Amino acid sequence: MAQVAFTTLGCKVNQFETEVMEGLFKNKGYEVVAFTDQADVYVINTCSVTTLGEKKSRQLIRRAGRLNGAAIIAVAGCYSQVSPGQVAAIPGVDVIVGTQDRARIVELVEAAAANQRTAQINVVTDIMQAKEFEDIPLFSKPDRTRAFLKIQEGCTNFCTYCIIPYARGPLRSRPLASIAAETEKLVAAGFTEIVLTGIHLGAFGRDFPSADGAEVTLVDAVQTVLAAGGRGLLRLRLGSLESIEVSDRLVALLQTEPRLCPHLHLPLQSGDNRILKAMNRHYTTAEYRNLITGIKARVPSIAVTTDIIVGFPGETEEMFASTLAFVSTMEFAKIHVFPYSRRTGTPAAGFAGQVSESEKKQRVHRLQQIADRQTIAFNQSFLNNKLEILFENKENQGVISGLSGNYIRVYACGGPADIGRVAPVLLKQIQADGLGGEIIE
């Protein structure tokens, strides 16, 4: 049996797409092995969000060649989409696929093997001409307790720091019928939580023609999954959303639907309006604050998590201080802090006022201190309360861990619980990265 190995860089969308490609190979009789093993085929699903992601992509491609010089090496994803020439120049690369045509990955790999690697196969095309969602069924069960379900592709925000619109192309949404069918398959496979993912998730449905004047939106996708999942679906979680795309209908669902997790990831990116404008973000800090305040008033237990970029070109110490002051009042459940990465091909790469790496590192540290305090405060607010936990991992000494609906990592003991099951836990103490408690079922 031929063996194939995969490795993935980047976001959860990339992880989902790797699982789809794994399923295509399994469906053709291949055995999936670890990337560190000697395999007949290596597939590297690359990332291009940062220059570091591209560097790691190149390193992994070369590592595959060292593991087995006779293997077919296939490169897919964002880096191969935006820089196919760079990928083609790496010795040993046989197949280059961008962010389209992944349904053909097995066919292309086998064609490279048939021609004995004498000709490189490159099927990267102009992603800006893509019109339809690449609807590939998931042929195998991922080795996780929660399943990702990609329902949307492409982005048209064109933030000045971001290469993704050029790597992923225009908006394409997955048809509702396909979403329902995939949900039924995942629930039948035993998944009790589904996470909806997409490149620009809040834009779901904008590319669909309206029926009788009614536009299709993310809420329709959410309701489709909830209906198709039935009693077997215990949780539905949303991936990252733009704050300006959180509709009143969506918040109403969070209020009334217990299966919809009280967790929203809403990237802020900066707490200074001048930087937000330079980033081409379409909101002000006041608008962001008002939205979060309104959501928390309606859904008190909700976790609001966010992303913030520090050291954006032109960010002065005064502007960074504005971000610190704004964030200090927001009570986020978790903040992902990133130093700005200068990305060739984006407008911000040519902006004046590039911040030094040492200054970016120092600003990350200062903001991370606030982030850590807010996470601890959010977690502490649930001490001596009960939360339902989806268990994922068995730890040492009879401890089992998992996540609450509002995304708190919980370590529990004292009762029966299996991986993949949901059980109530009484939360009793702070842990390094979450809370500890006792199963009370």
SS (H, E, C) 235-262: EEEECCCCHHHCCHHHHHHHHHCCCECC
pLDDT the model gives residue 408: 97
Asked if 146-380 and 386-439 have one fold, the answer is: no
CATH assignment, 146-380:
3.80.30.20
Regarding pTM above 0.75, the answer is yes
Residue 220 tokens, joined? 């329709």
| Residue 118, SS3 per DSSP | coil
CATH assignment, 3-125:
3.40.50.12160
34-38 long-range contacts, CB within 8 A, separation 24+: 34/5, 35/5, 35/6, 35/7, 35/60, 35/64, 36/5, 36/67, 37/3, 37/5, 37/67, 38/3, 38/67, 38/68, 38/71
Residue 369 tokens, joined? 């201190």
pLDDT the model gives residue 242: 95
pLDDT the model gives residue 210: 72
Tell whether the torsion through CA atoms of 260, 265, 271 and 276 is positive or negative.
Answer: negative
pLDDT the model gives residue 140: 72
CA 378 to chain centre: 23
Closest CA to 190 of 21, 440, 422, 7: 422
Residue 402 tokens, joined? 């998992």
> How many Å apart are CA 288 and CA 332, to the nearest integer?
12
pLDDT the model gives residue 432: 85
pLDDT along the chain (441 residues), means of 10: 94 91 94 95 94 93 95 96 96 96 95 93 94 84 83 95 94 96 93 95 91 85 97 95 95 97 98 98 97 97 98 98 98 97 93 97 98 97 96 88 96 84 94 93 72
pLDDT the model gives residue 211: 64
DSSP code of 211? B
Domain boundaries, the chain: 3-125, 146-380, 386-439
pLDDT the model gives residue 309: 98
pLDDT the model gives residue 142: 72
pLDDT the model gives residue 78: 95
CATH assignment, 386-439:
2.40.50
DSSP code of 3? E
Strand pairing partners for 246? none
State residue 219 phi and psi, 5-degree precision: -60, -35
